[in-house]
């Protein structure tokens, strides 16, 4: 039984007799050459369907917003959301879905690589109760990846296998960015969606209150004709972050895990600098130098990875953040040493008194928690 059917049994309600039946949500960033053509193709494909398209744009600078404004003036079925100061495909999709009350919502890219002619079949499958989610799959019989090279195909297949750890549904293409979902099913997952990375389908499947029923329909992935691909090396990182969040996020914030991972790398940097300098400068000077280098390393890596969504930019922004991080970590170091020393001293009668390892570990933990919490407030504070 699908989520929608189960909800209907529990709380029957008639669907609206008029209004938008299908909303197509399309995240955009620098897609000026594609948005008008996509709107034209949707008009041809969805004849007979009460539809709208919601473009969610992350402040494009290539004229995309001008194209969207012109489209919206000509056709009331075209809407757009202009986001300023925030970025990301997954969060764009969430905002787009929440902006509409259509009972069915499709998600697709603006680059014309998804086959819009599949949309009517997706809608028919959902309306027939075949699933909560209809996914355009490149890997079922009849589907294909088009002109991908072997390296990209292998990477996609590896990511697909990894997705099986958290997907909570059996499907061939959990990495697909082309799908249609019943609104009630999306709303059952929306408060648990992490918004990490760009694979919103996987996020939804892993976040739903109960496993969603999926129906897959084949399509062939097209080659981009205009604009530039948004895929880069950071996509791999963001995908890994999504998997971590779905596996461990209910126990500990994934950002804290990343902060600790960067801190571990910083320890390696610290010891390397200390080893290189201590024979020439003496231990105290070398230790101080290693500490500054390690903190600087941690700041820039955290700025690039852990706090990618709040990344500090510009010379002044980076300098202000670096100084704030130095201050935060200096206090954390004092707390680390003070707590560890207090716990270690036998006269204080703590449960770890005299145990240097556990005392030191407790100090490290206190310092790490302080550094994480304080840096989130003072270094990478939410705008």
Alpha helix (H) residue ranges in the chain: 3-10, 35-45, 64-74, 89-98, 119-127, 150-163, 183-187, 200-207, 234-248, 254-281, 283-301, 315-344, 356-378
* pTM for the full predicted model: 0.68
Q: Which of 27, 14, 121 is nearest to 81 (CA)?
A: 27
CB atoms within 10 A of CB 300: 16
CA 128 – CA 123 distance, rounded (Å): 9
Residue in this structure with the two tokens 């819009």, named with its chain if needed: 116
* Cα separations in angstroms, 364 against 116, 296, 351, 356: 54, 18, 17, 12
What number is the average pLDDT over the span 92-102? 92
Which range has the worst mean pLDDT, 159-163, 177-181, 295-299, 302-306? Answer: 159-163
Q: Which of 262, 282, 208, 287 is nearest to 2 (CA)?
A: 208
pLDDT of residue 311: 81
Higher pLDDT, 83 or 308: 83
pLDDT digits (tens, 9 = 90+) for 5-64: 565 555 444 344 448 999 999 999 989 989 999 999 999 999 889 999 999 999 899 899
Q: Is the pLDDT of residue 357 over 80?
A: no
pLDDT digits (tens, 9 = 90+) for 210-266: 888 889 898 888 776 665 554 545 666 666 666 666 665 566 677 788 888 888 888
Label the pairing between strands 133-137 and 179-182: antiparallel
Which range has the worst mean pLDDT, 114-123, 153-162, 173-182, 288-297? Answer: 153-162
Question: What whole-number percentage of the chain has pLDDT above 90?
Answer: 25
The one-character DSSP state at 101 is -
């Amino acid at each position: 039984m699908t989520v929608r059917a189960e909800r209907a049994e529990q709380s029957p309600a008639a669907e609206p007799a008029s209004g938008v039946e299908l909303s197509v949500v399309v995240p955009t960033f620098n897609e000026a050459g594609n948005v008008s053509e996509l709107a034209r193709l949707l008009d041809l494909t969805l004849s007979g369907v009460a539809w709208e398209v919601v473009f969610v744009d992350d402040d494009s600078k290539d004229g995309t917003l001008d194209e969207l404004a012109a489209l919206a003036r000509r056709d009331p079925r075209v809407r757009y959301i202009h986001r300023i100061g925030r970025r990301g495909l997954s969060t764009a999709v969430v905002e787009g879905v929440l902006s509409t009350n259509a009972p069915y919502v499709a998600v697709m890219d603006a680059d014309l690589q998804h086959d819009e002619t599949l949309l009517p079949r997706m809608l028919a499958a959902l309306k027939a109760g075949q699933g909560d989610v209809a996914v355009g799959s490149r890997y079922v019989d009849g589907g294909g990846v088009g002109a991908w090279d072997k390296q990209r195909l292998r990477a996609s297949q590896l990511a697909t296998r990894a997705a099986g750890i958290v997907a909570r549904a059996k499907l061939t293409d959990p990495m697909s960015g082309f799908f249609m979902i019943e609104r009630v099913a999306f709303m059952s997952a929306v408060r648990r969606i992490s918004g990490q990375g760009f694979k919103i389908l996987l996020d939804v499947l892993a976040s739903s209150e109960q496993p969603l029923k999926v129906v897959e329909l084949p399509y062939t992935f097209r080659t981009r004709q205009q604009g530039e691909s948004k895929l880069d090396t950071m996509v791999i990182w963001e995908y890994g972050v999504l998997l971590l969040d779905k596996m461990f996020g209910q126990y500990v914030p994934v950002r804290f895990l990343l902060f600790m991972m960067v801190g571990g790398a910083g320890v390696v940097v610290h010891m390397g600098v200390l080893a290189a300098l201590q024979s020439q400068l003496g231990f105290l000077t070398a230790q101080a130098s290693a500490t500054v280098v390690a903190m600087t390393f941690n700041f820039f890596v955290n700025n690039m990875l852990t706090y990618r969504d709040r990344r500090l930019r510009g010379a002044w922004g980076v300098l202000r953040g670096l100084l704030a991080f130095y201050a935060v970590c200096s206090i954390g170091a004092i707390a680390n040493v003070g707590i560890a020393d207090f716990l270690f001293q036998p006269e204080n009668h703590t449960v770890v008194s005299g145990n240097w390892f556990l005392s030191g570990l407790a100090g490290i933990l206190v310092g790490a928690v302080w550094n994480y919490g304080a840096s989130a407030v003072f270094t990478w504070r939410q705008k």
